[in-house]
Amino acid sequence: MLKKLSELNLVTYQRYKGVRLTETGKKMALEIIRHHRLIELYLSEALGYTWDEVHEEADKLEHVISEDFEARISEFLGNPTHDPHGDPIPSVELKLPPAMDLIPLTEIQEQRTGIIKRVRTQDRDELNMLAHLNLVLESLIQVISTDKSGVRISVGGERFLIPTSLANHIWLILVD
């Protein structure tokens, strides 16, 4: 497969030395990412899919939509910059939006408050659990304490202990 991708000028490949995307390969990857994330957002916003359902559907559709369909989805959604998980959507020019100063939940000091801006997991069980705890994008949370077992937080008057493995996937912007 790597040899075939190399012949298509999508990667440079040297046996036992690794693989790198070429500029053509990078553009193609960004196009697929754009399709995937727009589809996720469309499924969520227009069709009512939950954020734990959209990834699998988008995986099935990302390679088969036309550029016209992509443009219509983008226009319908108001040319969004982020998908339902807070992941950036490349622009039509295949440029990523400016990066935000996000910090993983595990690195936020005690008594600090932040807003969830990105959840970096596609695991359905993890996303479902986060939704049930109201730990979704734009949720305001306060870090109470951190230890080996996880991060104890407060959100909406409720207190939870988020395991470290899951807390690593929650990225916030500080507000205080």
Ranges of the chain with pLDDT below 70: none
For the chain, domains (ranges, CATH) are: 2-76 (1.10.10.10), 103-174 (2.30.30.90)
Q: Decide if 63 contacts 31 (C-beta within 8 A).
A: no
- On whether the CB atoms of residues 54 and 123 are closer than 8 A, the answer is no
What is the reported pLDDT for 62?
96
pLDDT at 2 (0 to 100): 78
Neighbours of 93 (CB within 10 A): 6
Mind listing the pLDDT tens digit for each residue in 62-71?
999 999 999 9
- Tokens matching residue 122: 């596609």
Distance CA 57, CA 49 (A): 10
pLDDT tens per residue across span 16-43 = 888 998 999 999 999 999 999 999 999 9
Q: Find the radius of gyration of the CA atoms of the chain.
A: 19
